[in-house]
Amino acid sequence: MNEKLRAFVKEKFINHKERYLHTCGVEEVAIELARIYDISLEKASIAALTHDILKYDPVLDQIKYLDEETISKFKDIPVMYHAYAAAAYIEKELNITDQEIIDAVKYHVWGRSHMTTLEKILYVADFAEPNRAFHEAKKIREIAKKDLDLALVLAMKSSIDYLIEKGIKPSIEQYEAFHYYEEVTRGKIK
């Protein structure tokens, strides 16, 4: 599936082998979950392969794909640019026009409320793919096969906790998404 795209991504990460491995891991998990939750495997594969595509492009190149509002919104958190820029890049340069794929790529870092199944799958796969070193990855991967919303909210919580631990303030959007899915999965979070 998507061999041409995979070759393109491999070339793009020629000097970032770990990122290529991460991308392949995300694709593997995303396809597995897409099969379970009965959505397009093709779309899961494309979203996974492209979600970090601009991660190592210079910020000045990334922001070429962004409007002024997005640039200023994330000026103190430039790591966010790679997601929003990739969403615009795949549409403009790779002719990927499927809005679900574009949104999944765009919101893969923080998530949001009312996510599509593809958005949830990419978020969880990005967090929990097998090359991730942290111990929750495997647990969340297993939970995701049975309860995608629960896996999503646990991944969101873990990301928020990680930031707090590092002395970084999580964003309002992260909290909003987390609280939304906390509500969705009420009673299931331990």
Which residue type is seen at 161?
A: D
Are the C-beta atoms of residues 39 and 121 closer than 8 Å to each other? yes
Work out how close the CB of 187 gets to Fe ion at its nearest, in angstroms, rounded to a whole number. 30
- Using CA atoms, how far residue 170 sits from 112, 162, 178, in Å, is 13, 9, 11
Question: Do the Cβ atoms of 40 and 47 come closer than 8 Å?
Answer: no
Q: How many residues bind Fe ion (CB under 5 A)?
A: 2
Q: Which two tokens stand for residue 35?
A: 């099969």
Q: How many helices, marked H, and strands, marked E, lie in the chain?
A: 11, 0
Positions 90 through 129 that interact with Fe ion (CB under 5 A) = 126
52 binds Fe ion (CB under 5 A): yes
Question: Least distance to Fe ion from the beta carbon of 44, Å?
Answer: 14
> Which residue, 38 or 76, is less far from Fe ion as judged by CB?
76
Residue 57 or 126 with smaller CB distance to Fe ion: 126
Q: What are phi and psi of 76, to 5 degrees?
A: -95, -5
CB nearer to Fe ion: give 168 or 189: 168
Q: What is the dihedral of CA 67, 73, 76, 80, to 10 degrees?
A: -70
47 three-state secondary structure = helix
Least distance in Å: CB of 80 to Fe ion? 9
Min dist CB 84 to Fe ion, Å, is 11
Q: Which is nearer to Fe ion, 19 or 185 (CB)?
A: 19
CB nearer to Fe ion: give 91 or 187.
91
Minimum separation from the CB atom of position 145 to Fe ion (A): 20
Provide the minimum distance between the beta carbon of 23 and Fe ion in the complex, in angstroms, as a whole number.
7
**27 or 52, CB closer to Fe ion?**
52
Of the chain, the end-to-end C-alpha distance in Å amounts to 38
What's the token pair of residue 23? Answer: 């991308």
Q: Which stretch binds Fe ion (CB under 5 A): 44-52, 87-95, 113-121, 138-146?
A: 44-52
Q: Residue numbers of the site for Fe ion (CB under 5 A)?
A: 52, 126
